[in-house]
Every structure is written in structure tokens, then in C-alpha cells.
A = this chain, B = another copy of it.
């Protein structure tokens, strides 16, 4: 089989794994959990074996040789290099380590859930120590020059290093602080109406209208409810999203939908010719996904959520529609009041509830701490203290318990180390793209503000989505904006929205 056939097969396997995951979070009866994990593990194992198979190695060698006659950026050359990198990556991780990580993750997730419920860090500590130890073994196996974190990052955000992120985040923190102080000094808008009684089926009906307004193609997708909103795809023709419905807090479902629509547009917008190719397959993370990095993916979700759906101009267009669904609840509310309320700054302990302005503080804190855990400068035992000190320093808050502190996220218990920075990279990238469009193609952003999203979506399709993984994040940014990742537009956006 050619590399094309082998990667198509790999994509099929990973799309099937994605369906097992989607189903387990949206449809599966409780009993199904007993064997679902094994089914997913089997498919991921088959994918890994396929990547490391003699057939794949041979096909990859042929493709790499053929690529010598092609420009570096030619999609076939990019695919050949991606397969070679995946083979090298999986070759380096011993099966015994994978097995140990899988077993540890199962135990650690259960321990984390119990520890969080009881706010009992001590009971989770040995599991986190084991997780960190295994992550360091993984970094050693993968190899690195400067920092063990550097070995973890290519899985999530190729091109970044501990040093590049530290520099980026130092500048971001410096830039955020005055904006945050200015935002706190502004009078808080009223937000009482967000907490009224919003029946779930009406929220669902509104979200089902909202998703296609934002460009989501329901003929190639569907919207379901889930505890934690997510987007997942089984090729570009079937890209599904979920949101969560909180009867006592309207914004959760609306902006959950907008966020996941952003992810979904990326996947639905990939060039059809890339279907079932290496350009729609994360061969290192073993995941069927067309976005070129976690950060690039997040940029599209944050662009749709923050720059489109939370923009006051959007509610000038669509608040009446929302008010038709909730005539009693929103009787005494204007579009301007609604937009102000959903953009209010409200520093808190919980990352997933954070407003746009304070969100990055939560991310930078985690990145700093996981880097320190990886290089050994922070012991797991000292994590709560370090966490709480950072929240006090960044947000001026006193963490009341570890459930609302270092136990709040599932990530570390699953063995994920290195994915947190991509949330902030997504924010920066989204603002960079929007800023460029505003300056260079003002008709696009003006149309969006006037209620016509089509030119904006087309610009994103042309600049980002269609390329799938055939271009790197920075190549996409350079192609659209002339620059690699640049923090200035993001600080400008936050300043305009929260401090101007």
C-alpha cells in the first residue's frame, strides 16, 4: 500500500476512535463504560502499530525520497515529514512506558475525582507524583536539549519550547496587569438577568439557531448536550459539537456553542482533498483532527466566541432573536446591557468559568507550575502552596480550598502535560488574525459587525481552515498576517474591550 492508502486507513481507525469517544460522552448507557475504554485503547494501539509497521516505514521512506524533488512546503513533502516524525516519536516511547502511563491514568483519574470531591490534595499527591515521574520518563525517552518540557510540546504545539513560552508569557503578564487594574476600576455592569430561570429546551432551541448563524453546517454535524463541551470529527463531513446547559446561567450554553462552532468550522472547512490524509490526522497524538496545532484550533474557537459572539455588535444584531426565546426573562434588558454583562470582568478561582481578561492568568499559572514540576524545581508536595501564591499574586484572591485550586482540572490526572499553553496561544492567534483583517480588509470585519459573517468566514476558510495540517501554525499566520505569532494585537484587543 502507498503512504496515501496507509494514512487513509490510519485516519479511518482514529475517526472510529473519535466516535467511541463522542458516543461515550453523549449517548452511551452507564453500563457501556465497562468495556469502552478497552475498545478505545485497542484502536489507538492499532493506530500506533500501523504507524510503526514495516509497510508504513517503507512507504514513508519512498515518500521522503520522492519529496527531495519537491519544495519543502509541498503538501506531499509535509506529509512525508509528518509521517517520519510520527514514526520517530512512537519509536522512542517504549511500550512498557505507554502501558504504565495508561494504567496510571486510569487510577489517577479516579483518585483525582475523589480528591477533588473531598478537596483532599494529600490523597491525590502520590498519583500526581507518579504522573509527573512518568511524564519525565517520557521526556527522557523523546529527548530534549534545554528543558524536559520541550519534549512534551511538539505533541500539542510544534515549534514552541519552554524558553519561547516563558518569554511570551512574561510579556503577556506584563501587558495584562495594567489592563486588569483598569478593568477592575470600571463600574461593574448589571448582570442579574443572566442568572434567571432559563429552561433547557428553550436554550437548546436558541443554540440550534445560533450555530448555523455562526456558519456551522448542521447537515455535516449535530449539537448535543455534554457535561464538558467539546468538538470532535469523523472527517470533515461529520463534525459534531456539544454544549452544556445551565438552567440558572444563560451564557454557558450560548458561548459554549459559539466556542465549539469555532472548532467545528475549522474541521468542516478543511479542503475536501485532504480528507483521510496525513493532513487531517494527528499521527503523534493519535487523533483524527484537521487543525494544525492545539493552539491554532483554539484560535478559531476563541475567534468565534470572543471576537464574533461576545462582540457588542453581534448582540445588536441578534439580541432580539434571543429575547423572542426568553421574553419574560429578558423583558427589562437591552442588547447593550446583555453584551456588557457577558463581557464583565469577574476574577475567580475556576479556569473554565473565567472571563476573557483573567483567563490567561489561569493558563500561565498552570504552565509555569507544570514546567517546574517537569524540571524538578517544584515538588508535587509544594504544588498547592505555589498555586495559591500565584492566584493571590495574579488575581488578588485567596484560594479557599484545593478543590477550587490545584485540584480543579482533570488534565494532569490523565497524564497530559504540555497542553495548557495552547489555550493562550489560541487567544493570541485569534486576535492577531482579527487585527490583521481589520487593518487590511476592513470590509470583512465591517460586514461581520453589520451582521454578515460570510466574508469573515471565507477569509478564515482561505487562510486557515482549508490547509488542515499541511501548514504549520506560524506558516498560516505568516500567510495571513505577514508575521509569526505576535502578542501585540491581543493586548490591543483586551485593552479596547476592558480598559478603554
Interface positions of A (Cβ within 8 A of B): 8-9, 12-13, 15-17, 19-20, 23, 27-36, 38-39, 41-43, 45-46, 217-222, 234-235, 237-238, 240, 275-276
Contact = CB atoms under 8 A, between A and B. Distances in A.
A377 B179 CA distance: 87
Nearest to A42: B12
B276 A31 contact: no
Contacts of A276: 35, 38
B220 A42 contact: no
A218 B34 CA distance: 15
Most buried by B among A19, A23, A45: A19
Given A15-B39, A27-B27, A42-B12, A32 B220 contact: yes
A38 B20 contact: no
Contact of A28 (B8, B32, B218, B238): B238
B16 A43 contact: yes
Given A16-B19, A29-B221, A33-B237, 4 more contacts: A12-B38, A12-B39, A29-B222, A36-B234
A247 to B, nearest CB: 22
B235 A27 contact: no
A34 B33 CA distance: 29
Nearest to A235: B35
A234 B32 contact: yes
What are the 9 closest A-B residue pairs judged by CB atoms, nearest first? A32-B238, A31-B220, A12-B42, A31-B237, A35-B235, A34-B237, A12-B39, A16-B16, A9-B42
Contacts of A39: 12, 15-16, 234
A36 B12 CA distance: 9
A23 B224 CA distance: 14
Contacts of A8: 38, 42
Contacts of A237: 31-35
Chain A interface main SS type: helix
Contacts of A218: 29
A15 to B, nearest CB: 5
Which of A17, A219, A235 has the most C-beta atoms of chain B within 10 angstroms of its own C-beta?
A235
A301 B81 CA distance: 53
B234 A43 contact: no
B220 A29 contact: yes
A13 B12 CA distance: 12
14 contacts: A12-B35, A13-B43, A15-B39, A16-B20, A23-B23, A29-B219, A29-B220, A29-B238, A30-B220, A31-B221, A31-B237, A32-B220, A33-B237, A35-B238
Nearest to A22: B23
Contacts of A23: 19, 23
A235 B28 CA distance: 12
A218 B30 CA distance: 9
Contacts of A220: 29-32
B219 A13 contact: no
Query: Which among A30, A31, A36, A234 has the highest number of chain B CB atoms within 10 Å?
Result: A31
B275 A31 contact: no
A234 to B, nearest CB: 6
B35 A234 contact: yes
A147 to B, nearest CB: 38
Contact of A238 (B9, B36, B234): B36
A17 B35 CA distance: 14
Contacts of A30: 219-220
Nearest to A45: B9
A23 B16 CA distance: 11
Contacts of A34: 235, 237, 275
Most buried by B among A8, A16, A222: A16
Nearest to A9: B42
A487 to B, nearest CB: 38
Nearest to A217: B31
Contacts of A33: 237
Interface centre among A41, A221, A237, A276 (most CB of B within 10 A): A237
A20 B13 CA distance: 11
A377 to B, nearest CB: 41
A43 B238 contact: no
A15 B20 CA distance: 10
B222 A27 contact: yes
A35 B15 contact: yes
A43 B43 CA distance: 9
A31 B219 contact: yes
